[in-house]
Structure 1
Amino acid sequence: MKSKILLGLLLAGFSSYAQNSAEANFKLTRPGFKEQNAFATTAFVEKYFRLPGNTGFNASIHHVEDILKKAGFVEQKQNEFEAPLTYRIEKRAMKNKTWEPVNANIDIVGESQPLISFKTNRNMIPINCQSTPPEGITAEVIYIPKVVPAEIDKMDLKGKILFSETNPSRLLAIAAKAGAVGVLGYSMPTYTQPEIHQTSIQFGRMAANSDVWTLLLSFGAKEKLKASCLKGSTKLKVNIETKIYQAEELTIVANLKGSEKPDERFVFSAHVQEPGANDNASGVGTLAEMARLTAELYQAKKISPKRTLTFLWGDEIVSTKRYIVEDTTRAKGILWGMSLDMVGEDTKKTGGSFLIEKMPDPSAIWTRGTDKHTEWGAGDVGEKDLFPHYFNDFIFDICKTQGKFANWTVNYNPFEGGSDHTPFLQNKIPGLLMWHFTDVFYHTDNDRLDKVSPTEMKNVGISALTAAYTLISADENTATATVAQVKADALIRLKTEFDLSKKAIADGKPAADEKHIIEVWSKWYIDALATINKMPVKPETTRVGSTIKVATGEIEKQTKTYLEELK
């Protein structure tokens, strides 16, 4: 009789582990995620130049709403937990008017082909630029090789167009003071390789309500106009059509209610604004398919999450921050946050790599060995800003598992900031970013649908959902497995840092500084292990705590050995 009871308990434990393990969840997400759905949504969204309140932004929000409704989410009437699957569209009055581009052309008078056109370069019009008169403006263009305000003040620019190889926003005040009608400029970072991708323009912004219009040029257009100006007097005809109007800002939030601890949740965020296909129509499309699949699996009774899963689409950083800070009670229950930003890149075309941007760990301070920052650049991180947590290694290992399964390249970068993961971290909530960089088409009007890979979106969506499903229903088995995983990752990292510090000391670096790096890494991982105690939905025994204690002892022992060897 005892043996049968024991067998029954073992089987029950195994069943619980199977339901809450990443392996079991991969078996649901891999066949269930339809990459063509994600790609179709991306195609819809990327047609528009999207800013909060404008036509394209709102159309994208309502397109996601249609997907949610068809999947089985019902519109929230009273509260988000009135049904298992709910969604709501939040509407807010905007302090400033919204803006959208309609059309633009620059023609060199006397030439048959336009210098540049909105049809091929929709980023040529900076955000907030006003329209020219319907008939356009014809004026002489003055090329300024070097911006020296004192010299420009001496020029006769009244009724003329300023042109310089710099960001046009630098010339707005000078142009307005001199009575110029407009400014043409050029500003492309080197990593976009403008000499190769000569039609690219990164989108820009100018001050609202300016009396002077500005337009941006591609490398190719800039070189052609410069050559014309150097030959002699050049006139341009410029037409700009934009819309500026009062609007509401929309955010859409969907939830799958947790059955045991609904107030605890995992939150996904994908921002809608920005005009690109990868940035960030791909995030919108991937998250929409993740929500659709979640509803399908729940309705088929293949998942029954213990905690709530939340999906959010809105204005980058603004909507995510507001979701956290506007409801302090809700914020206390947010256990994990994930930003999906630029997740669909065809890496053979863009040059970027899939990355997980880690929460602040010591690699953000001491970036060495194989660790490296992207072209975005390092964030301002000190030891006081470190955020020890198992989330870094947990997500990276999930992605590596999918990478091995699908022959998908997975990398990471130290914390840098700048997307929807930062509001989570600023509010002491574990938050990570899934993205791609460095991308030669980043923020340019060549970031279009042909640079998007449905397969890449599928790998990201599968990894993100598998991780979320596992965490929101985590039990003690999930937690103890994570302890083993994080301990193994910690020992690998300590060995790597020890080798680097040993070499650094041999090269003349102070031993005390190198030992300090080892100590900080050790403490970071020990503190990260401690956070696993809160992973299980219902901690039933002291097993997780005991496992953490043993793992901590092993890390401390190894750390001591390394520190002694560095003497």
Structure 2
Amino acid sequence: MKTKILLALLLAGITTYAQSPADPYFKLTRAGFIEKNAFETTSFVEKYFRVPGNTGFNTSISYVENILKKAGFVEQKQNEFEAPLTYRIEKRAMKNNTWEPVNASIEIIGESTPLISYKTNRNMIPINCGSTPAGGSTAEVVYLSKIMPSEIEKMDLKGKIIFSESHPSRLLAIATKAGAIGVLGYSMPKYTQPEVHQTSIQFGSMKANSEVWTLLLSYAAKEKLKASCGKGAVKLKVNIETKVYPSEELTIVANVKGSVKPQERFVFSAHVQEPGANDNASGVGTLAEMARLTAALYQSKKIKPQRSLTFLWGDEIVSTRRYITEDTVRAKGILWGMSLDMVGEDTKKTGGSFLIEKMPDPSAIWTRGTDKHTEWGAGDVKEKDLFPHYFNDFIFDICKTQGKFANWTVNYNPFEGGSDHTPFLQNKIPGLLMWHFTDVFYHTDNDRIDKVSATEMKNVGVSGLTAAYTLINANENTASTTVTQVKNDALTRLKTEFELSKKAIAEGKSAADEKHIIEVWSKWYIDALATINKMPVKAETTRVGSAIKFAVNEVEKQTNIYLEALK
């Protein structure tokens, strides 16, 4: 009798709710997101080399503030919910001075054109590098084909410039001890294809307050200097101008107050620092337009958030972690976190594709089949680190829907870490990353505005906002629909893993080990289904709980069939 009633309810739900709960929000976000706005903000921010506290970072924060003010957000005076739309700029004294580059050039004495200059390669100056004396320094360059400290110590390097094909930080201590005045180095990973993109330099850093300066070379500059050194003695004139000064670290936070449960919220985060256009001016620009649109929809009463929505811009990981940890009461109400990092790439130019980095699921441990890690690299995820939750499948489904609508390629990768989603996960809050990889211009000074796609930013913004609006207003229909989605995804994943395990056993792998993989996936999805029970703002009936039980039974039944077949 109970089974019949449950099936009737499910069938009734399917009949009554043919429309996805996200559909109305898709219509609003697709019509309202102005990609030109996102692109213009990205273009403004990318002009600056942004380090917390420096001119570029602070100017970018001010630019976002102006967008928020024009959109109707009012500056917070007492608390973040004193008005429906508020923002605040948090200011903190910095323990160390901030830094910013001004200019640099390297000239081979006797040649008319510079070997390399800041005008074309602003990443040539590592963060924290000091200045040369006014007018620059001229000295002989010594090429080291191998870094062997015992041999280098025997060399006369006093007053000279060391040049090697490794990151200059590796030679900084040796250079200082030997009395050298500077170090030139090279450090480009294979996925940046330096032999193809010969002018690229990835940004780096060095120890602050060093007596010795260091500079980074592009592949082209490195090869040219190496060839010159092979012909005989070479002298270089190096000119570096940087600024070091005390400052404040800024974080800007905007809030849209929920009408029913304001303490529960969805938090978006985009970091400001780093010098690139895609990384991460595109995240800043996309999130700024998302906040503007949200304010417009709220003021026109087209959305009525029942939970709160927060937008945060600041220092990568640092600002997000602080937002979560400095207020334990607020942290308890953060139900979802989303990081926007490198979200505007013109993939025809950069390579890779749009990705959702999943919260830790078993694919981060057993990466096989179509699952694959990016060139960023896998993390050391253990079974104890797994984070079962519906958020993975919910967001991926939203993005796939937008992808189908806009002919937009959407993929995912197993958890790797390294951006603003990490602090959420470390504090047991569901957190995901929207990004692009593998990008041949990642962290290089060729990551400029010409590599950014306004359309890509719109697809990300539409997907992110639609997901957030759906969740902060979730009802039992939203939850029931999600139960069906996650259950179907679970069955699909189990079938895939079963086929992979069956093949592995045929190739001689341990049947017990392969069965364990199936069991871990099954448990992950069963536990993920259980989290849907807390999705609705108001739980009015037992409908969601019943749907979860029914879905769990299906997953368990299919799991047992697969485990039996693997014997």
Is TM-score (shorter-chain normalized) higher than 0.5? yes
- Note the 1:58-457 alignment, pairs <5 A: 58-457=58-457
Q: Give the letter for the 1:413 counterpart.
A: N
SS at match of 2:122: coil
| Alpha-carbon separation, structure 2, partners of 1:442 and 1:153 | 36
| Alpha-carbon separation, structure 1, partners of 2:177 and 2:510 | 56
The Cα of 1:17 is off from its aligned counterpart by 7.0
| Alpha-carbon separation, structure 2, partners of 1:336 and 1:147 | 48
Cα pair 1:32 1:293 within 8 Å, conserved:
yes
| Alpha-carbon separation, structure 2, partners of 1:50 and 1:529 | 42
SS at match of 1:264: strand
SS at match of 1:123: helix
| Alpha-carbon separation, structure 1, partners of 2:537 and 2:544 | 12
| Alpha-carbon separation, structure 2, partners of 1:365 and 1:468 | 29
The Cα of 1:94 is off from its aligned counterpart by 0.3
The Cα of 1:267 is off from its aligned counterpart by 0.1
| Alpha-carbon separation, structure 2, partners of 1:274 and 1:18 | 45
Please tell me whether residue 519 in structure 1 is matched to residue 519 in structure 2. yes
Structure 2 residue ranges without an equivalent (≥5):
1-12
The Cα of 1:221 is off from its aligned counterpart by 0.1
| Alpha-carbon separation, structure 2, partners of 1:84 and 1:20 | 28
| Alpha-carbon separation, structure 1, partners of 2:422 and 2:121 | 31
The Cα of 1:135 is off from its aligned counterpart by 1.2
Q: Give the letter for the 2:70 counterpart.
A: K
Cα pair 1:362 1:521 within 8 Å, conserved:
yes
The Cα of 1:177 is off from its aligned counterpart by 0.7
Cα pair 1:345 1:352 within 8 Å, conserved:
no
- TM-score (ref. length: structure 1): 0.97
| Alpha-carbon separation, structure 1, partners of 2:322 and 2:565 | 49
Cα pair 1:20 1:473 within 8 Å, conserved:
no
The Cα of 1:19 is off from its aligned counterpart by 10
SS at match of 1:466: helix
| Alpha-carbon separation, structure 1, partners of 2:441 and 2:268 | 25
| Alpha-carbon separation, structure 2, partners of 1:273 and 1:17 | 44
- Note the 1:425-504 alignment, pairs <5 A: 425-504=425-504
- Note the 1:43-54 alignment, pairs <5 A: 43-54=43-54
The Cα of 1:21 is off from its aligned counterpart by 1.4
Which residue of the partner structure matches residue 10 of structure 2?
none
Segments of 4+ in structure 1 off by > 4 A?
A: 16-20
| Alpha-carbon separation, structure 2, partners of 1:200 and 1:291 | 34
| Alpha-carbon separation, structure 2, partners of 1:104 and 1:192 | 23
Please tell me whether residue 30 in structure 1 is matched to residue 30 in structure 2. yes
The Cα of 1:20 is off from its aligned counterpart by 8.6
The Cα of 1:363 is off from its aligned counterpart by 0.2
Which residue of the partner structure matches residue 7 of structure 1?
none
| Alpha-carbon separation, structure 2, partners of 1:17 and 1:418 | 39
Residues 95 and 18 from structure 1, CA distance in 2 versus in 1: closer, same or farther, beyond 3 angstroms? farther
The Cα of 1:349 is off from its aligned counterpart by 0.2
| Alpha-carbon separation, structure 1, partners of 2:84 and 2:331 | 20
| Alpha-carbon separation, structure 1, partners of 2:549 and 2:81 | 38
| Alpha-carbon separation, structure 2, partners of 1:338 and 1:411 | 16
| Alpha-carbon separation, structure 1, partners of 2:453 and 2:60 | 20
Query: How many positions carry a matched residue from both structures?
Result: 554
| Alpha-carbon separation, structure 2, partners of 1:261 and 1:373 | 38
Which residue of the partner structure matches residue 543 of structure 1?
543
| Alpha-carbon separation, structure 1, partners of 2:326 and 2:119 | 41
Identity of aligned residues (%): 84
| Alpha-carbon separation, structure 2, partners of 1:331 and 1:176 | 46
The Cα of 1:352 is off from its aligned counterpart by 1.8
| Alpha-carbon separation, structure 1, partners of 2:48 and 2:132 | 22
Which residue of the partner structure matches residue 532 of structure 1?
532
Cα pair 1:17 1:478 within 8 Å, conserved:
no
The Cα of 1:297 is off from its aligned counterpart by 0.3
Q: Give the letter for the 2:411 counterpart.
A: N
Which residue of the partner structure matches residue 10 of structure 1?
none
SS at match of 2:123: coil
The Cα of 1:142 is off from its aligned counterpart by 0.4
Cα pair 1:18 1:24 within 8 Å, conserved:
no
